[in-house]
Structure 1
Amino acid sequence: MVTLALLACGALSFGLSLRLYLLAQRTLGAARTGSLFAFAPFVGAALAFAFGERDDVLLVAAAGALFGVAVYLHGTEAHHHHHRHEPLDHEHAHRHDDGHHTHAHDSPVTGEHSHPHRHDSTEHDHPHGADLHHRHPHP
């Protein structure tokens, strides 16, 4: 019984972490997800410190602080300018209240859903980061 409980716990944990990682990839992009994932060893170092490990504390703390600032800057980067979206056909989970998914459905749809859809060419101005819908050149 204990073995089954451990297997279930591991499968759930691994499955959930994989689902969250893939969601982060889609939402944040590969670079931001990678920087957050790379910060994990510093969380482990902080836990080790809490449990009494004291080797190279200043060096690890300084590196962690610098890395934390980098992750913060990377995660909060956004810019605001007039930009053009080229036409795009793709499929991914989306909502219709995000300003980029204005296509119609035969029957009303609310909340997040996924299906193949087309984005027509559009130009607009709003703050954004480098995500699935903002891959455009900067002059």
Structure 2
Amino acid sequence: MLNLNGITVRLGGRTILDRATAALPPYSRIGLIGRNGAGKSTLMKVMIGSLEADDGSLDMPKGTRIGYIAQEAPAGDSTPFDTVLAADTERAALMAESEQEGLDPDRMAEVHERLIAIDAYTAPARASRILV
């Protein structure tokens, strides 16, 4: 269970989050909704560790994975779908390696075994579900 306990964040003297508390069940898919300026992006930044809370605590089980796409899309030609797929860095590296010309056959077998083990070939379908 991911627990947010009394998270308070102040930015520029303004309180953005005031003692936010929640318990998120394991393996759940959660959506944050609310009006502009309510603190949704701020809360996500605290959860992914890119912003430190002024008060409160975040208890996250070891191995917890949080998917996050920044509100402002990065410049470039990448689509949100490509961004979600690239977030799995092991898969992306193995896929790139599998496309190399002249790769040693033994290494090629290892790469494909690992791709199968991490269920890499169903990643596009999983990415689509995330973005729906």
- Give TM-score scaled by structure 1 length: 0.29
Name the structure, 1 or 2, with higher relative contact order (CA <8 Å, separation 6+).
1
Please say which structure displays the higher CA radius of gyration: 1
